[in-house]
Amino acid sequence: MAEQITLAAIRRDSAGKGPNRRLRVAGEFPAIYYTASGENIALTIDALAFEKAYRQVGTSKLFSLVIDGEEGRPSLVWKVQKHPFKRQVVHLDLYGVDFDKKVTLNVPLRQVGEAPGLKLGGMMETFHDTIIITCLPGDIPACVDLDVSNMQVGDALTVKDVVLPEAVQAVYKQNYALLSVVATRKAVPGPGGKE
């Protein structure tokens, strides 16, 4: 089993522009933790510790949030608000998960295989690099693989074509294309591809 990522935080009582600015100057930033039961907890998080953890968990992997040294709480990153031109986090929203309730989140897509249409001069055009899924927290995949090994020039892979683990469902109102092998000037359509 993979090592559980842990992020430490402390409760904060002060709010507003001034106290939050002082936090950022000290290398910290404000955050809100939404518990699975609906409680909101104002937190202070160390910026460097968060950046290190965020590189590993992103918005689709569970981590353990330790508040004031208490027992870790299984959590997900919900929203990261960054400064418009500085590379620093301004505010963070986290939410606690209940392992018995489904969550809806974005999971990264990963292309697997090599499309024959690329060898014929086509070009892979990616429309989406994530997919919205719903599942129980224990079933969240690290990424969703897209098998492109049969794609010819003119072929597209849609949400309905994605093979997901049994306990995971894609969330969408309309079937939309995730990626496509498009023709370039020198492309030759393969069998089944459109001209």
Domains identified in the chain and CATH numbers? 6-96 (2.40.240.10), 103-182 (2.170.120.20)
Q: How do residues 131-154 score in pLDDT, each as one tens digit?
A: 999 999 989 998 999 999 999 999
Q: How do residues 160-188 score in pLDDT, each as one tens digit?
A: 989 999 999 999 888 899 999 998 876 55
Does the structure show a pLDDT above 90 at 126? yes
| Segment 13-23 mean pLDDT | 75
CA distance 157 to 131: 13
What is the predicted pLDDT for the residue at 63? 94
| Segment 61-74 mean pLDDT | 92
Contact 80, 18 (CB under 8 A): no
Match 């309905």 to its residue by tokens.
160
In this prediction, what percent of the chain has a pLDDT beyond 70? 93
Rounded mean pLDDT of the chain? 87
CA distance 119 to 53: 39
Q: In what order do the strands lie in the sheet with 130-135?
A: 144-147, 103-112, 130-135, 169-170
Does the structure show a pLDDT above 50 at 1? no
Question: Measured at the alpha carbon of residue 61, what is the angle toward residues 103 and 175, in degrees to the nearest 5?
Answer: 55
Strand pairing report for 144-147 and 103-112: parallel
Question: Measured at the alpha carbon of residue 114, what is the angle toward residues 126 and 56, in degrees to the nearest 5?
Answer: 60
| Segment 4-16 mean pLDDT | 86
Q: Using 50, 70 and 90 to split pLDDT, how confident is the model at 155?
A: very high
| Segment 123-128 mean pLDDT | 93
What is the predicted pLDDT for the residue at 192? 58
Contact 48, 78 (CB under 8 A): no
Q: How do residues 68-99 score in pLDDT, each as one tens digit?
A: 989 999 999 999 988 888 888 888 999 999 99
